Structure 1
Amino acid sequence: MMSYPWKSFTKVGGALRHCSFTAMALHGCILSEIQAPPESRKVFSSEIHKVGRECAKVLRELGNNVKTMTKLSSSDILFEVHLAAEELQKKIDERSYLLVNTEAWHTSKRAEGIKDAMNATLITGRENKNEALEPTIADQTLAYHYKTFAASSFRSRYDSSSTIDGYKKLPHWPARTTFHPNLPLEDTESKTYQSASALSLATFSSLLIEFVARLQNVVYAFEELSDKANFKEPVEEPVAVSKGDGGFVAKMCKLVGLRS
């Protein structure tokens, strides 16, 4: 009993516990208040269900093998799991626009493009004019205004009253208040929840792929345990052979009258 590989059992339990953490996170996504719209969930429904079914099959087989102390019957028990996960990943790559707020993304990209174009134009203009090393009157005026603005910003940053007032203006999300007083409440909440609902589906899919990765650690730990604990080899079930007409020999015996 002292030489029995109890540490290998502990490794299997630890790997399985890490899988259960991901399963609880998936359960939390299902019970979340903010959910993806039904049309978006339907796009990934078949791939997500397939990954879940294949992972459940592997877990049931591992549990039965631990109970009967039997080695794995297949050398690649995770083949179907990995195949289902690849199909889900491919669907995510094809329909990734459903998992993010594309409107806000395009807006930020346009802003970055305009900023880069303005910087390039400014650099080109300075190179063409061959400005002198000595600062001009415009540069001195700009530097003066910059210093004045920096000093006022520094004072306001460390002013306790302004800091407290700033914190009071920040609402707690998802409070039933609008972030922008000038906009209607419905428009603001609609955009906010739309972005969050898209991210909830992305989070669930990401956690499911993470579960597949952690399930592989469980299989590795079980294989190590089965080798050290000398689990018995799996017994292949005999294939049932249909009786039929008995083949060529039976036909010859029937022909000569040995068998009716």
Structure 2
Amino acid sequence: MCSIGVAASVAASNKYSEMDILKKRALVYMDTTKRFIGLTCRKIWKVGRDDPRRAIHSLKVGLSLTLVSLLYLLEPLFKGVGENVIWAVMTVVVVLEFTAGATLCKGLNRGLGTLLAGSLAFLFEFIARESGKVFYAIFIGASVFFIGAMSTYLRFFPKVKKNYDYGVVIFLLTFNLITISSYRVDDVLKIARQRLYTMAIGSGVCILMSLFVFPIWSGEDLHSFSVSKIEGLAKSIEACVEEYFSEKEPDVEKDKLPEDPIYMNYKAVLDSKSTDETLALHASWEPRHSWHCNPFPWQQYVKLGAVLRQFGYTVVALHGCLQTEIQTPKSVRLLFKDPCTRLVTEVSKALMELADSIRDRRQCSPEVLSDHLHQALQDLDTALKSQPRLFLGTNSQNNTANMLALAAEATRSKPEKHLSSVKTEFSALSKWKSKRVSKQSVEAEGRFLKPTLSKLAITSLDFSEALPFAAFAALLVEAVAKLDLVIEEVEELGRVACFKEFEVGDDVILNVDDGSKMEINLPSNAAD
């Protein structure tokens, strides 16, 4: 009885332990599920908070699909349009893009491609229908081959590839669908008409939604993106100089992080080429929607982006000076802190003024290149000239003479080439041995001499630790030169875009510490 009781208690304890394990696993699973749901909800909220237009665009797509689906759901509309209503739904899914320019580009390309393909297919069918069945099949095969080859070859032309590639693809698809199916279907005109109707309905709904229901303009995105790039460069170059002259020890781990603010600001500029070109292309399709109906100079924004990338390369080089292996001592850097800080402050102020003028659509201030900037350049030049020993060295002539003497001695130690006359085998053997020994000794001296010369060449430079700062100062001067090019492009943009004239009081002091970032939503085929 005792053994039975013990066994029962053991079984009960095992059962309770298994239940505890299951409960713990269930709690862990529920906790993991809650965290996953919370993380997903926060991510969804962040995407909509970063750009509320994304939520608006999603609602527009849903409404467009609902309107087009009524053609299928309502019996009168279904009988009037036919069974090809599904093409209208497919058109909405494919054509409706984030911006009005991208939707117009796709919609008009799709309409034009479908219209041309339907007309050409009907013409070919009308020509070949009068002949026999065999000739009709041969004619269809030849026309499909010819049109397919020519359309595909046409896509390689740069202008066609850039503006009408999607239209050519739709033309090729529609032509093949109608032409091949006409061989088995008698009424090909009905097929072409239904295809054109459904495409027109789908494209019309997309264009109306894009232009009249909370429109999102590619031109405005390109305009705002240009402003954010200029502000990012201003923040980056000012942060570079501030960190370079900082008295704190550099954080190595911070430089390796991809969230480095200096890196993120100029990276957005360097990676902006495809974004600028795509937004400019879509802006060229958009109608004039401003109050004064001024033309949108999309090409000038592309030129401005190219100049900003050139300025960005200088900022990249400045950022690289913060991470070089050989650094100028802080005591030397502090000698030039004030003129460099004043110079970069003036450059940053000029960039922020340019960004503000583009944002407000006004001409930039005539004082954008102020006397303070030129004075800061003069102060930096004066500071560099006041410390000549840092860049010239105190005993450079003695070290140079020592290096030349050592090189001359190494040259004299080289063996002279001469012809040996072999008199006897013993003398020839002895000369060969002595020559080999001398050659090995010379090679050993050469191997020792080369690193000695390299080490001497490095250590003899009294200004070796000042060279990194010289490069840094040269890049600051280069940034001023690139700033002049940026100003020229902004002035040209204001002239072409008919910006309003500058008035006293238009300049606004901006907070350059704002961490906001412009995000661009490109269409699905932007990479093409």
Cα deviation for residue 52 of structure 1 reads 1.0
Pick the aligned partner of 1:225 from 489, 493, 500. 493
Normalising to structure 1: TM-score of the pair?
Answer: 0.58
Cα deviation for residue 191 of structure 1 reads 3.0
Alignment-derived partner of residue 175 in structure 1: none
Pick the aligned partner of 1:71 from 335, 340, 363. 363
Alignment-derived partner of residue 45 in structure 1: 337
Which has the bigger relative contact order, CA under 8 A and spacing at least 6? Answer: 1
Work out whether residues 399 and 460 of structure 2, in 8 Å CA contact, stay in contact via their aligned partners in 1: no
Single out whichever of 190-199 and 27-36 deviates more from structure 2. 190-199
Work out whether residues 54 and 81 of structure 1, in 8 Å CA contact, stay in contact via their aligned partners in 2: yes
Alignment-derived partner of residue 19 in structure 1: 311
Alignment-derived partner of residue 296 in structure 2: 4
Task: Provide the rounded CA distance (Å) in 1 between the counterparts of 2:445 and 2:362.
Answer: 65
Alignment-derived partner of residue 210 in structure 1: 478
Which string of whole-angstrom CA distances, capped at 9 and with x for unpartnered residues, describes residues 124-165 of structure 1?
xxxxxxxxxxxxxxxxxxxxxxxx94779xxxxxxxx99x98
Runs (4 or more) in structure 1 with deviation over 6 Å come to 109-112, 164-171
Alignment-derived partner of residue 191 in structure 1: 459
Task: Provide the rounded CA distance (Å) in 2 between the counterparts of 1:73 and 1:93.
Answer: 33
Which string of whole-angstrom CA distances, capped at 9 and with x for unpartnered residues, describes residues 180-227 of structure 1?
39xxx9xx7993796432111111111111111111110111111111
Aligned alpha-carbon RMSD (Å) = 4.0
Pick the aligned partner of 2:505 from 217, 233, 237. 237
Alignment-derived partner of residue 383 in structure 2: 91
Structure 2: which amino acid aligns with 1:209? V
Assess, with a 3 A threshold, how the Cα gap between structure 1 residues 104 and 189 changes in structure 2: closer, same or farther.
closer
Task: Provide the rounded CA distance (Å) in 2 between the counterparts of 1:106 and 1:170.
Answer: 20
Work out whether residues 363 and 494 of structure 2, in 8 Å CA contact, stay in contact via their aligned partners in 1: yes
Structure 2: which amino acid aligns with 1:224? E
Cα deviation for residue 103 of structure 1 reads 2.5
Work out whether residues 70 and 232 of structure 1, in 8 Å CA contact, stay in contact via their aligned partners in 2: yes
Cα deviation for residue 22 of structure 1 reads 0.8
Give unmatched runs, 5+ long, in structure 2.
1-282, 285-294, 406-414, 420-439, 507-528
Structure 2: which amino acid aligns with 1:15? V
Give unmatched runs, 5+ long, in structure 1.
115-147, 153-160, 172-178, 239-260
Cα deviation for residue 76 of structure 1 reads 5.0
Q: Matched residue pairs, number? A: 184
* SS across alignment from 2:452: coil
* SS across alignment from 1:196: coil
Task: Provide the rounded CA distance (Å) in 2 between the counterparts of 1:69 and 1:80.
Answer: 25
Work out whether residues 100 and 198 of structure 1, in 8 Å CA contact, stay in contact via their aligned partners in 2: no
Q: Which has the larger radius of gyration?
A: 2
